[in-house]
Every structure is written in structure tokens, then in C-alpha cells.
């Protein structure tokens, strides 16, 4: 079972950059998308089905051209859940979950903290999301939360931890929350297999950041502890250039 998570920074823009050809070649069983920035009536869905993703679910934000998540699957889910039931989260289309027989996959787009107001919003989201997941795990223990968390966990996950220590995405309070979230019963699947530095999933468009690999690792597959024995491989796929992010891949044993 191959699961990819990818913040595409606009699905229509990604399609223009060759996303569909890449998707056919990468051939995941499930792909979770974030920041789709469009509703499904704004682009052609047929190519996704032609690529094998008969089951595709789109959850755009109410605000046009903003946020939004999606999950595309080759297999029919038992249940699809749009949002969390928390109004301000669901207004921005930040959470979509597919339940299968032996696990559930969630596409998450956690807010960034680009200014004081958005940082306060992010902190509120983090607290409420933790409570939501704590309750959800009681009924869905085999949960995989894929997506853009907009937080680097540790110094190894960012290119300049000293200079960026006071920047949103690497603030001590954000890192502490993510650390606690993982310790509440989730495995950082990438770090489970890979302890090396200079492994990133997002780069600024400015100052040649991607060329010089001045990046951040903010995209994760967090896997619930009961699935630990099924973890097979987790890698970052930096060769994909459809976004300022790159995809991250998780493989599970059947």
C-alpha cells in the first residue's frame, strides 16, 4: 500500500506543470492533497479517473482560491468524512478522512502563522485538533494523518535552526505541540526510517532556496502506533517540481 501526501499549492497550477503525468508514473494507491485552491467544478476530473483514481473526494474552502484538501484512491472507502465538525476549521477545508477496512487516511492542512492574527488562529487550531484526534482515536485507532503541518519538529528538520528559531513554523511552542502530538500515539514515519539531515519537503520560492536546499520538513505521514509493524518505507520525493512543496511517500505492508 503506497500513500503519498502532497501540498500542490493549487491543483490547477500543478496540472499545468505536469502533475497528472507524474501521478501516473508515481502510481500511489492513495494520494492526499493539500492547498488545492479550487473546487472540483473548476477543472476536469476525467484525467484523475483515467489515471486509476475512480474514488476521488474534494473538500475546498468556502473562500475561493484558498486552502482546501482532497484524497484520491484506487480503492473504495467504507466511509468518507468531510471536515471535523469544528466550524472554523471546516470553513477553510482543512481536513478530509477516508476509512478503509484496516486503516483510515486523513488529509490535513494545518494553518500557517504568517502574522499575529494567523498565528493565534494556528494555536487555536492546534489545540482543538489535538482534542478532536484524542476522541477520534477511541473509535478509529488505525489512523494515518497525512499532510502539511506547517511545523518543523526538530533542528534536523530545518536548514538554519539558529536563525529561524523565532520564525513561525519553528517556534518553540509549535515544536512542543507537534512533539506532544506525536507522543500521544503517532509515529513520524519518515524519521522512523531516516535519521539523516538535509531532508526537506518545502522551500521558499525566494533566493534560490530549493536549488541550494535551504528547506523545511513540514509535510508528514504520522502513523498511529497500532500500525507500527506494518511500516515498510517512508521517503521524500524531491524530484517532483509542481509546487513549492514536494511529495512524501509512505509504504505499508498489506
Residues forming the active site: 148
56 neighbors 70 (Cβ within 8 angstroms): yes
Amino acid at each position: 500500500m503506497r500513500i503519498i501526501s502532497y501540498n500542490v499549492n493549487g491543483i490547477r497550477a500543478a496540472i499545468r506543470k505536469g502533475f497528472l503525468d507524474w501521478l501516473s508514473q508515481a502510481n500511489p494507491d492513495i494520494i492526499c492533497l493539500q492547498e488545492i485552491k479550487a473546487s472540483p467544478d473548476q477543472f476536469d476530473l476525467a484525467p484523475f479517473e483515467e489515471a486509476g483514481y475512480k474514488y476521488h473526494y474534494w473538500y475546498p474552502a468556502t473562500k475561493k482560491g484558498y486552502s482546501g484538501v482532497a484524497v484520491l484512491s484506487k480503492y473504495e472507502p467504507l466511509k468518507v468524512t468531510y471536515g471535523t465538525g469544528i466550524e472554523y476549521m471546516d470553513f477553510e477545508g482543512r481536513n478530509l478522512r477516508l476509512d478503509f477496512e484496516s486503516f483510515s487516511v486523513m488529509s490535513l492542512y494545518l494553518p500557517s502563522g504568517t502574522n499575529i492574527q494567523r498565528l493565534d488562529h494556528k494555536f487555536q487550531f492546534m489545540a482543538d485538533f489535538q482534542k478532536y484526534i484524542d476522541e477520534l482515536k477511541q473509535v478509529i485507532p488505525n489512523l494515518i494523518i497525512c499532510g502539511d503541518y506547517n511545523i518543523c519538529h526538530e533542528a534536523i528538520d530545518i536548514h538554519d535552526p539558529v536563525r529561524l528559531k523565532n520564525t513561525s513554523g519553528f517556534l518553540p511552542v509549535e515544536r512542543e505541540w507537534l512533539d506532544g502530538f506525536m507522543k500521544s500515539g503517532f509515529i513520524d514515519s519518515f524519521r522512523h526510517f531516516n535519521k539523516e539531515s538535509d531532508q526537506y519537503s518545502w522551500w521558499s520560492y525566494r533566493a534560490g532556496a530549493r536549488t541550494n536546499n535551504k528547506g523545511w520538513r513540514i509535510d508528514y505521514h504520522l502513523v498511529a502506533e497500532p500500525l507500527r509493524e506494518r511500516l515498510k518505507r517512508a521517503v521524500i520525493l524531491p524530484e517532483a517540481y509542481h509546487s513549492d512543496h514536494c511529495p512524501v511517500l509512505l509504504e505499508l505492508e498489506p
